Amino acid sequence: MPRKRVAVLISGRGSNMAALIEAAKDKNYPAEIVLVVSNRPEAGGLLVAEAEGVATEVVDYAEFGKDRAAFERALQAALDRHRIDIVCLAGFMRILSADFATAWRGRMLNIHPALLPAFKGLDTHRRALEAGATTHGATVHFVVPEMDSGPILAQGTVPVLAGDDEAALAARVLAVEHRIYPLALKLLAEGRVRVVDGRCLIDGVPAVLAARSQRPFN
Ligand code: GRF
């Protein structure tokens, strides 16, 4: 089966992007990262992608006079030029329109640094600490028009430890992000994921059960 052609959309340092690029270096990995798009020209992740030999493009919202439709047309054109099959949002800080999300439905993933549906939005680690959560983590989910919603494909948990500050908790969660995102993309690229009634089935098994079974997903 040909490897799926993946674009990673970033706005910043791109450590999740780097984890995906790293995973895809394995010839048996079912996807290849062929494009990195940033909406910010100064995103550090662009340099990392270039050093890895991955094509990069900048689609800067500001250059489109804050015309979101024009911005998304440019984004779509970049994805078309590179014949992209799957889009992975990785710290991409622009909200995409419902039309764009719908056009990529089932083919666009996002990683969120919290155990959705808890702590949607920003400052998840601070909010988890303030809430006194004892467990925190990260979620890979399909993108739907509502922000940080959409069928959950993979989650990874970490304990919240006494004495944690935001930075310590963020670092613990980030390590989990770097594991679950490549795993989730692998499952999608292998065609093992189906969405039924808004929930993910992996190999026909609800993701929630699949995650708890002993079956290794690799
Ligand atoms: C990650 O925590 C991701 O979950 C969130 O934004 C952060 C991006 O970090 N959506 P990086 O650019 O992948 O290092």
| Ligand 1 centroid – CA 15 distance (Å) | 7
What ligand 1 atom has the least distance to the C-alpha of 45? Answer: 12
Residue identified by tokens 């062929």 is: 34
Q: Are residues 210 and 118 in the same domain?
A: yes
The residue whose CB lies within 8 Å of the most ligand 1 atoms, and thus the one to mutate among 11, 13, 15, is: 15
| Ligand 1 centroid – CA 16 distance (Å) | 6
How does pLDDT run across 60-112, given as a tens digit for each residue?
998 998 899 999 999 999 999 999 999 999 999 999 999 999 999 999 999 99
| Ligand 1 centroid – CA 204 distance (Å) | 29
Does the structure show a pLDDT above 60 at 216? no
What ligand 1 atom has the least distance to the C-alpha of 12? Answer: 12
Compute the distance between CA of residue 91 and CA of residue 69 in angstroms, rounded to an integer: 21
Length of the chain: 218
Compute the distance between CA of residue 86 and CA of residue 153 in angstroms, rounded to an integer: 14
How does pLDDT run across 22-59, given as a tens digit for each residue?
999 999 999 999 999 999 999 999 999 999 999 999 99
Give mean pLDDT, residues 117-137. Answer: 98
Per DSSP, helices labelled H in the chain are: 15-23, 44-51, 68-81, 98-103, 124-131, 166-189, 207-212
The model carries a pTM of: 0.95
Which residues, at least 6 apart from 57, have a Cβ–Cβ distance to it below 8 Å?
35, 36, 37, 38, 78
pLDDT of residue 210: 64
Compute the distance between CA of residue 26 and CA of residue 8 in angstroms, rounded to an integer: 17
Structural domain including 153 reads 112-218
Q: Are residues 143 and 42 in the same domain?
A: no
Ligand 1: residues with CB < 6 A are 10, 12-17, 45, 90-91, 111-113, 138, 174, 177
pLDDT of residue 212: 56
Token pair in block for residue 37: 């798009």
Q: Which of 63, 94, 125 is the last residue in one of the domains?
A: 94
Just list the catalytic residues. 112
Q: Are residues 77 and 123 in the same domain?
A: no
In a domain, 125, yes or no: yes
In a domain, 19, yes or no: yes
In a domain, 31, yes or no: yes
Q: Which of 36, 63, 94 is the last residue in one of the domains?
A: 94
DSSP string, 7-53: EEEESS--HHHHHHHHHTTSTTSSEEEEEEEESSTT-HHHHHHHHTT
Q: Is the peptide bond before 117 cis (omega within 30 degrees of 0)?
A: yes
The residue whose C-alpha atom lies closest to atom 1 belonging to ligand 1 is: 91
The residue whose C-alpha atom lies closest to atom 7 belonging to ligand 1 is: 91
Q: Which of 64, 94, 124 is the last residue in one of the domains?
A: 94
Are the C-beta atoms of 4 and 30 separated by less than 8 Å? Answer: yes
Query: What are the backbone dihedrals phi and psi of residue 199, each rounded to the nearest 5 degrees, phi first?
Result: -125, 150
CA-based nearest residue to 6, from 95, 79, 81: 79
* DSSP run (H or E) holding 148: none
Q: Are residues 35 and 83 in the same domain?
A: yes
Please state, rounded to an integer, the average pLDDT across all residues of the chain: 95
Q: Are residues 81 and 171 in the same domain?
A: no
Number of domains forming the structure of the chain:
2
The residue whose C-alpha atom lies closest to atom 14 belonging to ligand 1 is: 15
Q: Are residues 18 and 85 in the same domain?
A: yes
In a domain, 195, yes or no: yes
